Every structure is written in C-alpha cells, then in structure tokens.
C-alpha cells in the first residue's frame, strides 16, 4: 500500500507535555547561548595559556591552533557569510570574492598606507569601494543570469587582479604592499588577543546584520527570487534592483574583510588573492550549507581546522616512509585540498544542503522520535 | 504470447501525489488497433509512460502489476531498450529534432538498421508521406504541426516496430490533417501488420479508427470493449461523443 | 613582426579552439558547463609526461595512450560526478566541476610534485623561414593537428550515424529517449570527446610552455573563447578560440606580457553585456 504524505503518522502529543517541552526548549536555548558566549570569551585564554581551567593542554590537543589562526578564521567567516548571502540566499553564483577582498586591500593601501587615514575610516572607505565595486560587478546581472553571470564574475576577478598587480608595482614594489599597525582611536590592535576581540565583534555584527536583512521584507523577497523568479516578479518584487542591492551589500562586507585581512597580514601581494582563494570560499559555503548563515560559519571553521588536523597527523607520521610519508608529510597542503574538494563533491551528491542541512534532518528525526516517545508516555 | 502488449493490474504512483494508476489492465493483440480514451488527468499519459519506459524521467514508480511486451516482462526497462525491442513511440507534442533535417530525423529512427534497410525504410516513409519527401532537407523545426506529426510518425515506424504507441496525435492539428494522418496510420497497421495503440482525447476519431477501446477515469479503466460497443454505450454517448448517432449513416460507415 | 605575432596568435588560437570545441561538445551534449575543462588540459599534459618520460613510450603509442586515458577520465567523471547530479539545479553542477578542479589539482601535485616539468616529445622543434617570417615548427604542427582534429570531429558529427545520434541528443533529451537513443551512452561519449580534445590541447600547450598545474589558467581560456564565439554554436567555439589566441598574442607583444588577461576577459565582459549569445550564436528566446 502506498503511504500518502498526509497519512496520520504522527500522533499529536497531549497538551501539557507540549507546553512543558516548550518551556524546556526555551531554557535550553538560553543556556546554550550563554555557554557559547562564555566559551567564546574563554577561548583566547585557553589558547594563550595553553591550558583549560588550569589543566595544561598539549599542542596536539589544541590542534596546534593559535589565536592568529582563529583570527584569520574570523575574517574568512565574514567572507563566507557575505558570499553565502549572495549565492546561497540571493542565488547569484560568484567567484569574484577574492577580487573583492583585493579591492578592500587596495583601498586600505591607498587610504591607510599612502594617505595615512585612521583605521576606522579606512574600513569605512573599504566598505564604500566594495559597495561601488559590487554595483559595477552586479550590472551584468541586469542583463544575464545564472551561467553567464558566473562568467562575468570570473572576468571581474581577472580584471581586478590585473589592476591590483599594476597598482602594486606602481605605488609599492614587488615584495608587496605593507600595512601599518591598526588602531581604533588610541586602542592599538597590537596583540592577537585585541584583534580577536575586535574581529569577534565584527563577525557577530555581520552575522546578525545579514540574518536580520534576510528576515526583513526585502530579504524574504530575495529568497523568493532565488527560488521562483517568475513568481517573485509577479508579486511586484523589483528583481533587478534587489539583486544589485544584494551584490552591493555582499561586496561591501567582503571588501571590509579584505582590508582587515591586509592589515592583519601586514603585507599582501597579488598572490594573496588568486582564483583559488575565491574557490575556497565557494567550497566553504557548500560544505556549510548554501543558504544557511550558520552553515557558513561551520564551513569557515572547517577550513581552518582541516589543515591543523592534517598537520597533527602528519607530525605523527614523520618517521614513516614511502607512500604514507609522501602523502602526509611532503604534500600536506595538497592533502588538505584533496580532502576539502572530495568533501564538497560528496556533500553535493549526497547532502546538497551541506552540513547545516544534515543537522536539520537529524534534529527533525530527533524531534519525531521525541514526540512519539512523549505521546506514548502521555498515553501510558 | 498471443498478445503484443499486456498490462496486468498495473498501479503507478508519483512521489507525494499518491496513486495515479490503480489496478489497470489492458491488452493489445498482435496487429490489433486499440484506442485509449479518457479525459485529461484520467491517467492515460501515466499509463503510456509506464509502458514506454519513460516513468523514471517523470519520477513515477510502478508499485504493483506487470507489463509484458511480446510475452516478455518489461517492468522498469529503460525506453531505449524497449524501442530496440520493437516498440515505436510517437510522443505527445511530437518531439522532433528541431535543428536536424527531416531526413536526419528519420535516420535517427533508423539508426540500428543495416544500411540497405535504411534506404528501404526512407522510401517507405516518403511514399506514405510525400510531403516529407518534398521537405526532406528542411530543418524540422520550421515545419507545420501536421508535417512534424508525420515526421514523428515516420521516425517511429521506420525501424519496423511491432507496436506503435501514438500519444495525442490530434492535439493542435486541423481536422483534415488529422484525418489524413489517421488514414496513413491505418495503412501502416494493415500493410505492415503493426499493432497500434492510440491515446486520444478526441474519442470519436479514435473509435472510428480502432478495433477495441479502453476508457479511463480517475486512474482506472472505467470500461472497455470493441470499438462499436464502446461508441454506442450510454456512458460514452453522454460524456464524450454527443451525437454520433445523429450523423448520416454514410459518414459513419466511411472510417 | 606583425605577421609573426598574428601567426603565433592563430597557432595558439587553434589549440584554444580545440579545447573550446571539447568544452562545447560537453555543453551541447549534456548541458553542463565544465569548469574543469582547464584541468582536463592539465591532465592531458601530465598524461603526456607519463607516456613520454615515465613510461618512455614511442610517440605513436604514447599518443594512443593519452587519447585512451583521457577518454577514460571523461567517462569516469561523467559516471561518478555528473550523472548523480542529473536533474539538479545548475548551481550544483557548476560547483561540482569547480570542486573537481580542486581535487584534480591536488592529486596531480601529489603524484608529480608542484614544480613544473619540461615535456620532451619527438614533435618537431626549430624554425622555418617563409619570406620574412620565422615560424616555429611546433606552432605549425600544433595548428595542423588542431585543425585536423577539429575537422575530423566535425566530420564525425555530421556524417557518421553516432555523430547524428549525438547531435540528436543535444537537440532534445526527451526526443532522443523516445527515439530509442541510449542517452546515457551519448553523454559519456560527449565527455570522453571533450576530455580527449582538451588532452590533445594539453599535449601541445605543455610542450610550448612547461607542464605544471599553472596550465589550468591557460586551459580555462576556453571558457571565454566559447562564450565569445557563441555557446550553442560549434563553429563559434572554434572561432572564439582563434580570437582569444590572437588577442592574447597581440596584447602580449604590443602592450605587456601580463596584459592579455584583461583584454580577453574585458572582451568577455563586453560580449556578456551586449551580445551574450556570442558572435556566432543565435539569440535564444527566453532566459539566457
């Protein structure tokens, strides 16, 4: 017999247990948020002291991570979030994110290094140039969509990187573009810890801002547009301007991230922004789950953790020889790329909604078994 | 073994939409001409998809029952295997290859024939449909609906199939052209001994043409029998045929 | 001097045309925009290295090896990566070809190391002089072989029964199924051909330059070539390749070596903005 989707499979739980469950889940969520905040605040302490609650941790247990890498991860998170907003939510595939980072870096170079503007103003300038670049880069989207649009972002990448190269050679030299210390007013960002606080704040801001944008009316129109463009147009949504706005916002964030990246590394060249960089962002959002902002965070975190894990395993394998040694030690970087690439492939085939999608499915299944369990309890 | 096509108690479902076909049985004897009738949504298309191996393409599944072609069970076989086995398909909407010429379209249908047979086959098709011969170097996409229908038919029969499945031949075509094509279809059936199953919304046309008929409704076979019986049955008269009885006898006899 | 640059442009452009043709075959046949075509070129170059340097095969056997291995690669990619995604949105399919680039690149660097390698083949080197032009023999050979391949495949598609079936499949998927065509087989064939054409391009590009994964960005030039020429048009892909080759050589000689990228991609952008169906394509009704 065929099971219809609307067959009564799920027995609705009895009232009191529902309310009880809701109160519980509210408290549980608040507790979880509190724990997360505490963990985030305690993390830098753990990493600097190399100990947790006084218990010393070995390098291996900390996955050889340092606060510097966490900071780079935070910057990558901003990039992943902005790309996911554009590609996952608005449906505009873009491999131009590396170019946008480069735009931010160039702005920072001009405003910060050449003109000596204060750091905060530099970041603002990066946002503005980013938005303008987004506007220009988004113009093709008025004419073409989907496939051709990706190509236009590809063209964008090569054109911007050429401009970057010329810029670098004209105003600086082949070694790279240097950046002075960043400071917020009189507060100098001179230690990884200070950067951590600042970047964490910014990342949370970006996440929160994008999430609210998606929940706003325009944001929902954006998602509607991604799924059913014809329907969205018929609802009076001005699809074209919406797309352009999405691109501008996404580019502004990416550009600011690029400026932060430049300041953090204190020196960048055109090699820092190759097309592989753009592709890595795409990989991050696929792994995390396209359309899921939380997923982007996971994807970026994985991008950070994977090399560390591999490094760890590799350091154990120093004494081995032959194939194992070749793969794990000589070609660590390639192994990371290989695993990341394969992860993307596997997820695309078997779990197209990424890790976020998998977690949602798992939660749903848990809720189903929970509800049927409590229903049984109610009946007994 | 005696029938060309046997559908036995077939049930088909689409995901999330429940059963589209329930316990459907139908037979096409060797060299027979059968009509499949019914309103839109009755399940005719689903039945044809199941028989022709196109169910997969449309995400449907056979939940129970069998389909036998030339005595062999063919449940779930892919479409191209069925065509090789001798099941010619003239799909709804014609589906000619728009950028290929008429002759190229026909050659696609003749792809697995020997070279000499291909020439022979082309000749047969051109004799049946002289208009195709006239236009044989023209791109198929530029032809009229009637010509495309002839082409689709030619492409399906050039491989000398033993069963021809024709889905909604008359859709969008002028009555005169439809009559003409049905005439040629009869020739194909008689001269080449091909069994034919036509799916038609135009019940009168189909009943004039066929020997027996099945009428579908809501995913089931509502009733069946030989064509005259079905045409004269009160149910048919009311719902589909209107005033066949009031036609002058000469027109009725002239099918 | 101009004549020489033009000739060089045509020679390199012929190779690009070959790779672009492979891309177009995959696109027309299976509707997949194969971002990994550039990596297929790299694979071809490294297959050549394997055949010539590692296995030490004589040239003809080596060529057969390259063709067979490339065809196998194309079929495997289709079976493992593309077929499972049939019916999925285009975004996913594009992503998987991009992910394929990452995977292939990592694998190649793990097997061969990331440094570049020279490729030595018995292909003619040296220069012949025609009047005032000094023409590289390798360029000439590349051009001839590319044109022979392109012509050969053109003839294959136009005159052979299988070529007809492939054109039919590209014309209409459901129509092909209904006509008894084994569409799966046709798809695999398209990918095999696309990979082989890229591999031949890789053989020549590897010899003209150095064999390394950096060849990917050169192989990727097939993408703008196809778009500029016209995505749905096979002769368009070839002409697009020639154009890209010419622009590249002209820019490199008269402006600066690294400037060719922006001219090519700038041209791409112009086409996308004002004539997205390419120079030789036809304006398709409905969405682009």
Residues of chain B with C-beta less than 8 angstroms from the C-beta of A2: 13, 18-19, 63
Q: What's the CA dihedral at A189, A284, A254, A273 to 10 degrees?
A: 80
**CB atoms C164 and B155 under 8 Å:** no
In Å, how far is C283's CA from the nearest CA of chain B? 15
Indicate the pLDDT class of residue B236, thresholds 50, 70 and 90. confident
Residues of chain C found within 8 Å of residue A337, distances taken between Cβ atoms: 102-103, 105-106
Span B141-186, pLDDT tens digits: 889 989 999 999 999 999 889 999 999 888 888 889 898 889 888 8
Q: CB–CB of C33 and A162 under 8 A? A: no
How near does any CA of chain A get to the CA of B42, in Å?
19
The three-class DSSP label of residue C230 is coil
pLDDT of residue A7: 37
- Are A5 and B19 an interchain contact pair (Cβ–Cβ within 8 Å)? no
B201 DSSP assignment: S
**What values do phi and psi take at B224, rounded to 5?**
-155, 170
Task: Report the gap between the CA of C134 and the closest CA in chain A (Å).
Answer: 31
HSE-CB of B70 using CA atoms within 13 angstroms: 12
Q: Are the beta carbons of C258 and A93 separated by less than 8 Å?
A: no
| Top-confidence residue, C261 or C40 | C40
The better pLDDT of the pair C256, C144 is held by C144
Integer Cα distance of B105 and B112 in angstroms: 13
Helix H, strand E, coil C: the string for chain A is CCCCCCCCCCCCCCHHHHHHHHHHHHHHHHHHHHHHHHHHHHHHHHHHHCEECCEECCCCCCCCCCHHHHHHHHHHHHHHHHHHHHHHHCCCCCCCHHHHHHHHHHHHHHHHHHCCCCHHHHHHHHHHHHHHHHHHHHCHHHHCCHHHHHHHHHHHHHHHHHHHHHHHHHHCECCEEECCCCEECCEECCCHHHHHHHHHHHHHHHHHHHHHHHHCHHHHHHHHHHHCHHHHHHCCCCHHHHHHHHHHHHHHHHHHHHHHHHHHHCEECHHHHCHHHHHHHHHHHHHHCCCCHHHHHHHHHHHHHHHHHHHHHHHHHHHCCHHHHHHHHHCHHHHHHHHHHHHHHHHHHHCCCHHHHHHHHHHHHHHHHHHHHHHHHHHC
Residue C126 has pLDDT above 90, yes or no: no
Chosen from C83, C157, C173, C177 to mutate, greatest number of chain B CBs within 10 A: C177
Nearest CB to B108 within list C165, C174, C183: C165
Q: CA angle, corner C268, sides to C264 and C272, nearest 5?
A: 170
Which residue of chain B comes nearest to C162, CA vs CA?
B111
Among C168, C171, C180, the residue with its CB nearest the CB of B80 is: C180
Is the pLDDT confidence value at C45 over 80? yes
Q: Give me the CATH code for the C2-114+131-274 domain, please.
A: 1.10.3470
* Residue C134 vs residue B187, higher pLDDT: B187
CB contact under 8 A, B19 and A2: yes
Measure the CA–CA gap between C209 and C70, rounded to whole angstroms: 20
Compare CB distances from B95 to C174, C180, C183 and report the shortest one's residue.
C174
Give the model's pLDDT for residue A117: 82
Q: What is the pLDDT of residue A13?
A: 40
Q: Are B128 and B154 in contact (CB under 8 A)?
A: yes
**Nearest CB neighbour to C167, from listed B100, B156, B159:** B100
Q: Which DSSP symbol is given to C78?
A: I
Minimum distance, in Å, between the CA of residue A10 and any CA atom of chain B: 17
Give B195's DSSP letter. E
CB spacing of B100 vs C168 below 8 angstroms: yes
Q: Is C258 touching A (CB cutoff 8 A)?
A: yes
Kind and range of the H or E run holding C51: none
Token match 């198929």: residue?
Answer: B140
Contact call for residues A113 and A177 (beta carbons, < 8 A): yes
B78 CB neighbours in chain C (<8 A) are 182
Q: Which residue has the tokens 């030690």?
A: A329
Q: Cα A102 vs. chain centroid, distance in angstroms? A: 17
State the complex-level ipTM: 0.86
Q: What is the mean pLDDT of residues C50-61?
A: 82
Q: How far is C271 from chain A (nearest CA, A)?
A: 10
Beta-carbon neighbour count of residue A62 at 10 Å? 16
Instruction: Give how far B65 is from chain A: nearest CA, Å.
Output: 13
Contact (CB<8Å) A2/B16 = no
Distances (CA, A) of A328 to A58, A117, A303, A306, C244: 21, 45, 18, 13, 40
Of C81, C261, C288, the CB nearest to A345: C81
The Cα–Cα gap between C262 and C251 comes to: 9
Q: Give the largest CA-CA distance in chain A.
A: 80
The per-residue pLDDT for B149 is 92
- Residue C44's pLDDT is what? 93
Chain B positions in Cβ-Cβ contact with residue A5 (cut-off 8 Å): 16
Q: Is the minimum CB–CB distance between C151 and chain A shorter than 8 Å?
A: no
Q: Which domains does chain A have, with CATH numbers?
A: 24-57 (no CATH), 58-379 (1.10.3470)
**Residue B98 to residue C171, Cβ atoms within 8 A:** yes
Chain A residues close to B12, C-beta within 8 Å: none
d(CA C237, CA A30): 59
Q: Is B63's CB within 8 Å of A2's CB?
A: yes
∠ Cα C275 C277 C283 (to 5°): 100
Length of chain B measured in residues: 255
Contact A349 C81 (CB under 8 A): yes
Nearest CA in chain A to B64: A1
At A319 the pLDDT is 66
For C96, the closest chain A residue by CA position comes to A345
Distance to chain B for C180, nearest Cα, Å: 4
Does residue A349 sit at the C interface (CB-CB below 8 Å)? yes
Kindly give the residue spans of alpha helices, DSSP state H, lying in chain B.
Answer: 44-52, 79-85, 102-109, 115-128, 130-134, 145-157, 175-192, 203-209, 227-232, 234-236, 249-253
Whether B253 shows a pLDDT value over 50: the answer reads: no
Predicted local confidence at residue C47, as pLDDT: 92
| Chain A residue with Cα closest to C92 | A348
How close, in Å, is residue A1 to chain B by CA atoms? 8
- Along the 380 residues of chain A, how does pLDDT read in single tens digits? 333 333 333 333 444 444 455 556 677 777 877 787 777 777 777 777 676 766 776 666 666 677 888 888 999 999 999 999 988 777 788 889 999 999 999 998 888 888 888 888 888 999 999 999 998 888 877 776 677 888 889 888 989 998 898 888 888 777 777 777 777 767 777 777 888 888 888 898 999 899 888 888 877 877 777 776 666 666 666 777 888 888 999 999 999 999 999 888 888 888 888 888 898 898 899 888 887 888 888 889 888 888 888 877 777 766 666 666 666 667 778 888 898 899 999 999 988 888 888 888 888 888 777 766 655 554 44
Nearest alpha-carbon partner for B189 in B88, B120, B110: B88
DSSP category for residue B139: B
Residue A308 has which token pair? 């560390």
Residues B231, B244 contacting (CB under 8 angstroms): yes
Instruction: Provide, as residue numbers in chain C, all residues whose Cβ is less than 8 Å from the Cβ of B89.
Output: 178-179
Find the closest chain B residue to A6 by CA distance.
Answer: B16
In angstroms, the CA A7 to CA C40 distance is 50
Specify the pairing of strand A183-184 against strand A187-188: antiparallel
Greater pLDDT, C216 or C15: C15
**Residues of B with CB below 8 A from C167's CB?**
97, 99-100, 104
**Nearest residue, CB atoms, C288 vs list A148, A161, A348:** A148
The pLDDT of residue A9: 37
In chain C, where the domains are located: 2-114+131-274
- Assess B13–A contact: CB distance below 8 Å, yes or no: yes
Q: Exposed e or buried b for every residue in A6-19, given b needs 16+ CB within 10 A?
A: eeeeeeebeeeeee
**Cβ-based contacts of A275 with chain C (< 8 Å):** 217
Contact C85/A at CB under 8 A: yes
Among A168-172, B242-246, C220-224, the minimum mean pLDDT is found in B242-246
Residues of C in contact with A340 (CB under 8 A): 102
Residue C152 CB neighbour total at 10 angstroms: 10
Give the whole-angstrom CA distance, residue C224 versus residue C271.
10
Q: What is the signed CA dihedral for A100, A105, A110, A113, rounded to 10 degrees?
A: 170
Q: Do C99 and A150 touch (CB under 8 A)?
A: no
Residue among A2, A4, A7 with most chain B CBs within 10 A, to mutate: A2
Of B15, B18, B60, which to mutate for an interface test with A (greatest number of A Cβ within 10 Å)?
Answer: B18
Q: Across residues C201-229, what is the average pLDDT?
A: 86
User: What pLDDT is attached to residue A375?
Assistant: 58
A284 in contact with C, Cβ within 8 Å: no
Q: What is the mean pLDDT of chain B?
A: 86
Comparing alpha-carbon positions, the chain C residue that sits nearest to B89 is C178
């Amino acid at each position: 017999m065929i099971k219809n989707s609307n067959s009564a499979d799920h027995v609705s739980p009895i009232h009191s247990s529902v309310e009880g469950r809701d109160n519980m889940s509210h408290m549980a969520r608040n507790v979880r948020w509190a724990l997360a905040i505490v963990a985030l605040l305690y993390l830098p302490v753990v990493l600097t002291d190399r100990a947790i609650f006084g218990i010393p941790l070995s390098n291996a247990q900390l996955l050889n991570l340092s606060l510097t890498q966490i900071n780079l991860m935070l910057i990558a998170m901003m990039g992943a979030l902005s790309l996911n907003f554009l590609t996952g939510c608005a449906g505009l595939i873009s491999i131009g994110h590396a170019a946008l980072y480069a735009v931010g870096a160039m702005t920072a170079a001009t405003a910060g290094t050449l003109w000596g503007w204060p750091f905060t103003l530099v970041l603002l300038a990066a946002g503005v140039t980013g938005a303008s670049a987004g506007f220009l880069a988004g113009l093709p989207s008025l004419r073409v969509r989907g496939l051709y649009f990706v190509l236009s972002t590809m063209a964008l990448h090569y054109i911007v990187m050429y401009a970057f190269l010329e810029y670098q050679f004209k105003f600086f030299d082949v070694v790279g573009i240097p950046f002075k210390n960043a400071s917020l007013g009189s507060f100098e960002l001179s230690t990884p810890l200070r950067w951590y606080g600042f970047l964490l704040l910014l990342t949370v801001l970006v996440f929160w801002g994008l999430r609210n944008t998606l929940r706003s009316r325009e944001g929902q129109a954006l998602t509607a547009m991604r799924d059913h463009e014809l329907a969205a147009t018929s609802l009076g949504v001005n699809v074209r301007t919406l797309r352009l706005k999405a691109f501008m916002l996404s580019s502004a964030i990416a550009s600011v991230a690029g400026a932060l990246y430049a300041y953090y590394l204190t020196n960048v060249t055109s090699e820092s922004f190759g097309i592989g960089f753009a592709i890595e962002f795409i990989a991050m959002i696929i792994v995390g789950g396209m359309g899921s902002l939380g997923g982007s965070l996971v994807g970026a975190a994985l991008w950070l953790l994977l090399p560390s894990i591999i490094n760890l395993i590799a350091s154990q394998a120093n004494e081995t020889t032959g194939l194992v040694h070749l793969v794990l030690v000589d070609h660590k970087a390639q192994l990371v790329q290989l695993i990341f690439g394969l992860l993307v492939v596997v997820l695309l085939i078997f779990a197209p909604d990424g890790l976020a999608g998998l977690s949602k499915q798992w939660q749903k299944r848990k809720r189903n078994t929970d509800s049927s369990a409590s229903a049984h309890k109610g009946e007994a | 073994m005696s029938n060309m096509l046997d559908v036995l108690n077939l049930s088909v479902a689409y995901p999330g939409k429940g059963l589209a076909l329930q316990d459907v049985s139908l037979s096409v004897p060797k060299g027979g001409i059968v009509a499949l009738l019914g309103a839109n949504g009755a399940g005719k298309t689903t039945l044809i998809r199941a028989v022709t191996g196109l169910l997969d393409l449309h995400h449907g599944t056979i939940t129970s029952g069998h389909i036998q072609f030339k005595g062999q069970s063919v449940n779930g076989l892919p479409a191209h295997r069925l065509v090789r086995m001798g099941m010619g398909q003239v799909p709804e909407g014609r589906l000619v290859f728009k950028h290929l010429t008429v002759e190229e379209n026909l050659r696609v249908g003749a792809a697995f024939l020997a070279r000499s047979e291909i020439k022979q086959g082309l000749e047969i098709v051109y004799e049946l449909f002289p208009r195709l011969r006239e236009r044989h170097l023209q791109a198929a996409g530029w032809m009229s609906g009637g010509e495309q229908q002839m082409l689709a038919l030619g492409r399906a029969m050039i491989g000398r199939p033993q069963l021809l499945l024709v889905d909604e031949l008359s859709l969008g075509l002028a009555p005169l052209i439809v009559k003409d094509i049905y005439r040629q279809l009869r020739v194909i059936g008689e001269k080449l001994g091909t069994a034919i199953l036509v799916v038609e919304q135009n019940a009168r046309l189909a009943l004039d043409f066929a020997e027996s008929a099945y009428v579908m409704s809501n995913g089931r076979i509502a009733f069946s029998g030989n064509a005259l019986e079905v045409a004269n049955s009160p149910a048919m008269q009311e719902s589909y045929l209107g005033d066949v009885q009031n036609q002058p006898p000469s027109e009725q006899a002239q099918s | 001097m101009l004549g020489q640059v033009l000739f060089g442009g045509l020679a390199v452009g012929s190779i690009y045309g070959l790779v672009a043709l492979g891309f177009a075959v995959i696109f027309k046949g299976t509707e997949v925009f194969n971002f990994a075509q550039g990596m297929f070129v790299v694979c071809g170059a490294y297959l050549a290295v394997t055949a010539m340097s590692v296995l030490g095969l004589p040239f003809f056997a080596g060529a057969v090896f390259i063709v067979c291995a490339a065809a196998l690669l194309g079929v495997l990619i289709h079976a493992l990566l593309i077929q499972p995604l049939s019916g999925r949105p285009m975004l996913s399919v594009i992503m998987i070809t991009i992910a394929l680039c990452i995977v292939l690149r990592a694998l190649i660097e793990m097997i061969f190391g990331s440094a570049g390698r020279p490729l030595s083949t018995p292909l003619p080197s040296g220069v012949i002089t025609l009047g005032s032009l000094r023409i590289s023999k390798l360029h000439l050979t590349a051009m001839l072989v590319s044109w022979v391949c392109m012509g050969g495949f053109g003839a294959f598609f136009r005159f052979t029964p299988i070529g007809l079936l492939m054109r039919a499949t590209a014309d209409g998927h459901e129509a092909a199924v209904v006509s008894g065509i084994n569409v799966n087989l046709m798809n695999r064939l398209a990918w095999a051909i696309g990979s082989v054409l890229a591999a031949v391009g890789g053989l020549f590009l590897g010899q003209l330059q150095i064999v390394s994964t950096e060849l990917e960005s050169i192989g990727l030039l097939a993408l703008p070539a196809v778009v500029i020429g016209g995505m749905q048009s096979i002769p368009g892909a070839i002409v697009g390749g020639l154009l890209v080759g010419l622009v590249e050589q002209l820019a490199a000689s008269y402006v600066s070596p690294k400037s060719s990228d922006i001219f090519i991609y700038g041209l791409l952008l112009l086409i996308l903005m004002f004539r997205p169906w390419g120079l030789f394509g036809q304006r398709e009704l409905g969405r682009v």
